[in-house]
Each structure stands twice: as structure tokens, then as C-alpha cells.
Amino acid sequence: MYRYSITESPKGYEVYVNLITSSAGRYISRQPYLINMIKEVLVPMKLTGAEISIEHDMGRVIGNTDIVATGEKDVIFYAQPYKKTVFSRYVKNHSQLPSKTLTILLVQDENGDYELTDTWIGPCSPPFPGDKKETSRSKSYWETHALVLDTQTIQSKTLTKVCPY
């Protein structure tokens, strides 16, 4: 695994990311300035727990979010993102929205260090229904929210207007 160290805490644990194969790495490759913002959020924090979800208001617009609320008049479709088996919900007639929020997902490894598994600009949202980390909120959240189809690559053969969940 390619391990890029983001920061080390005074308590001795490291926060790192796999820039090659992780969801966080793919997102950061498109917006590399996020590394400094992640440091800004994590350096003053004392991390505890096996899995940590952080939704942090940066106090300024930091970019655009792909996650938007949807209504009855929106054109919705479902598809599997590239290299994924779970369907995501997309909206056609929306644009990305400016956001002040940074979401950071961390998992503690066997050495006590934290791996950044995912990060994005926008609100913390539950995994899509059908994901192995699906929560009780997943279905209800994604019935009223969707991703703006912009830079994301989807598997076109999986495209459907019928909700798969």
C-alpha cells in the first residue's frame, strides 16, 4: 500500500491516506488542496474511536459539493459509479453548490494510527443503500438527496430510472 502521511499527533499516532486506491485518494487527486484543509481540521483534534466521521464547517467556502437535496420536479436516475457495485442516485437538472463543509472519514488501524478512508466537500452523508456500511438512515437520506452528475464516471450499462433499492 502507498501510504502518504498527512499529520502526526503529539500523542504519537499518524493520520495517513492511500493516495492510489482509496476513495479519499481519488477525491484528493482532483482537489489536492484538501490535504492542507484536512491538516487544519485534524491537528487540533484528539482522535478516539475505531471509526470517526467528522463534518467540519471551515468558516469559508472551500469548493463545491456534489450532494444536493432533490424534489418531485427533479430528473433522477441511478447508476453504478466506475469500479463500484452499489447504485448511486444522481440528478440531472442541478449544479454543484458552494460549500463551507469538509467531511472526513477515518478508521483506526491495528497500530493505533488512523487511515483517511474517504473525504469530500459537503455534508456528511450515509453510505448508499446496499453498501456494506449502509446505516438505518441510508435509504431515507438518499430518497431526498442525490449526486450531481459532473466529473464522476459511471458504468453506462447500469443506468436506470428505476430505483434499485
Closest listed residue to residue 15, CA positions, set 27, 25, 5: 5
- pLDDT tens-digit map of 66-99: 999 999 999 999 999 988 899 999 998 899 999 9
Distance CA 39, CA 53 (A): 15
Quote the cell numbers at residue 81.
Answer: 459509479
- pLDDT tens-digit map of 131-150: 999 999 999 999 999 999 87
CA-based Rg of the chain, rounded to a whole angstrom?
16
